[in-house]
Amino acid sequence: MKTMSAKELGTKDFQEILDNIMESVSVMDENGVVMWTNKANREKLGITTEVIGKEAKYLVQEGLIDKAVVYEAIESGKFTASIISKGSEKDVIVYCNPVYDEEGKIKFLVSSAMTCSEVNQILETLETERRINKTYLAEIKHLRNTLLLGEDFVIESTNMKCLLEDVQKLAPIDCSVLVTGESGVGKEVMVKTIHKNSIRKEGPFITVSIPSIPDNLLEAELFGYEEGAFTGATRGGKIGLFELAQGGTLFLDEIGDIPYALQVKLLRAIENGEIRRVGGTKLIKIDTRIIAATNKHLEQMIKKSLFREDLFYRLSVMHLHIKPLRERLEDIKPLGEQFIQNFNNKYKTDKKITEPAFNLMKKYPWPGNVRELKNLVERLGILSNGDLITAEDVQAVLSKISNTIDDIDPDHLSDDWKTNSQLTEEYSSYERTKILEALKTAHGNKTKAAELLGISRTKLYRKLKNL
């Protein structure tokens, strides 16, 4: 279908355009003769007769209005605004702006009108939005006053606000906490927030990523070891992470990956507040708060005898579950705005994300959650041509991704993404990176890598053939 150019638009086309503008619009020549007027203008001024070709003063003579603002604009040569009477009511605000030709003479004048009730409605809407924003800002200020939150901890959803209220209550209490949720939802940020607001905030915060440590070394890393405990042991022995975290917090990340045989030793350490180094006989008192996190369903692992039930209950005195980003879409905009602001601060740019772009983001299932959103915003900051990041920019990046390595439920995908035909290039790159990272973390152990990726070993081998 051929697209009509501006030059091909005729008088009828312009009249249709004017009639479909909600605001009142009229165009007059340099003498105040009406050239065009739209439907909204006629309705606001109560004009029922034909006025095209007549001077604006005709409306005054007919008693439809008490004065014609266009003459003030012609005389002053400047933008003019005034409230005029329509019948017995003073309820119409009229604006008139002269347009000049190349020689500096008035070519025509454009006038628009808005009733006072419309202005009041706009003011009421703005006031409502202002109150909502004020309430939201007050809530955030309250949370920031009662919780030591980082500037990048941005929330708007009710779910996250409730979680932070729970954090406010449990942070000062020296109990174990289990934080669950999909990869990338912000579990570590939540854990750090608990530590920063606890009585141990001046103490160390030690993080241990369970999957990153080989099973045969994990016990020694956690509890330490004595000299000669095993072949290759460091001379003089080594203190473990429990001891390093004395007086502070030990964060056990991805606790669902801890070997079953080691779980009972971890349970005893938490229950008794004592540890014994590998190869040692002396019990060492520990004063460490334990916070654990996982993206696995520990309850299901308990049923399969992969995770001890008693350890689960000991770790989850308080249980915080962070919902995936696709279930708290209200957080996408404030998070995106914060990420692009961070990008601007770092690279001295002035990028902004448009509302349609955010609306499109809300249709995507976000398998990588907040981490993926952050990466996307950084990529959009790099690839966007202008300062405005549009829906087209978002579509260009996200339309290439069909699903995730975890096989996201198709029900989570909107129709816009289900029907897109360009879904492979960037996904392949993303999938390849995730597989290689998992293999590196698992030190080449494909069974372990498959567990990290949340897929079967057979599926991993199939994917490796296509790399």
pLDDT in tens, 136-178: 555 555 444 445 555 546 777 888 888 888 988 899 999 999 9
Beta bridge partners, 94, equal 82, 113
The whole-number pLDDT of residue 353 equals 95
pLDDT digits (tens, 9 = 90+) for 278-299: 888 889 999 999 999 999 999 9
CB contact at 8 A, 197 and 240: no
Q: Where are the domains of the chain?
A: 8-115, 173-321, 327-423
Q: What percent of the chain has pLDDT over 90?
A: 34
Cβ 26 vs Cβ 111: under 8 Å: yes
Percent of the chain exceeding pLDDT 70 equals: 82
Question: Which pLDDT does position 218 carry in this prediction?
Answer: 92
Identify the residue with better confidence: 44 or 386: 386
Task: Supply the DSSP symbol for 212.
Answer: G
Give the model's pLDDT for residue 263: 95
Lowest-confidence pick of 136-140, 190-194, 211-215: 136-140
The predicted pLDDT at position 81 comes to 85
pLDDT at 317 exceeding the cut of 70: yes
Indicate the class that CATH gives domain 8-115.
alpha beta
Alpha carbons 259 and 443: distance in angstroms, whole number: 16
pLDDT given for residue 136 in this prediction = 58
Q: What is the pLDDT of residue 412?
A: 45
Q: Confidence band (pLDDT; 50, 70, 90) for 38?
A: confident
Separation CA 365–CA 411 (nearest Å) = 9
Type of residue numbered 407: D
How far is the C-alpha of 180 from the C-alpha of 295, rounded, in Å? Answer: 6
Per-residue model confidence (pLDDT) at position 400 = 62
H/E stretch holding 125 reads: helix 116-146
- pLDDT at residue 142, rounded to an integer: 46
CB 223 within 8 A of CB 265: yes
pLDDT of the residue at 254: 94
Tell me how many degrees the CA angle 417-423-424 measures, rounded to the nearest 5. 160
pLDDT category of residue 404 using cuts at 50, 70 and 90: very low
Q: Which of the four pLDDT bands, split at 50, 70 and 90, describes residue 407? A: very low
Instruction: Specify the pLDDT at position 397.
Output: 85
Output the CA torsion sign for 140, 150, 182, 259.
negative
* pLDDT at res. 270: 93
Higher pLDDT, 365 or 57: 365
pLDDT tops 50 at residue 44:
yes
What are 110-135's pLDDT values in tens digits? Answer: 988 877 777 778 888 887 777 766 65
Q: What is the spatial distance between Cα 450 and Cα 448, in angstroms, rounded to a whole number?
A: 5
90 or 191: whose pLDDT is higher?
A: 191
Same fold, 8-115 and 327-423: no
pLDDT at site 267: 95
Give the pLDDT confidence score for residue 458 in this predicted structure.
75
The pLDDT score that the predictor gives to residue 17 is 76
Architecture of domain 327-423: Orthogonal Bundle (1.10)
Homologous superfamily, domain 173-321 = P-loop containing nucleotide triphosphate hydrolases (3.40.50.300)
Question: What pLDDT score does 295 carry?
Answer: 93
Q: Give per-residue pLDDT as tens, 219-269.
A: 989 998 887 777 766 777 888 899 999 999 999 999 999 999 999 999 999
The answer on pLDDT for 376 being more than 90 is: yes
Q: Which of 84-98, 350-364, 429-443 has the highest mean pLDDT?
A: 350-364
Q: Residue 406: which pLDDT band, with cuts at 50, 70 and 90?
A: very low
Residue 35 has pLDDT above 60, yes or no: yes
For residue 88, pLDDT over 70 is answered with no
Predicted local confidence at residue 45, as pLDDT: 66
Please say if the pLDDT value at position 375 is more than 80: yes
Q: Which two tokens stand for residue 384?
A: 């966007």
Total residue count of the chain as it appears in this document: 467
Tell me what pLDDT residue 129 has.
Answer: 78
pLDDT of residue 87: 56
Q: What's the pLDDT band for 423 if we cut at 50, 70, 90?
A: very low
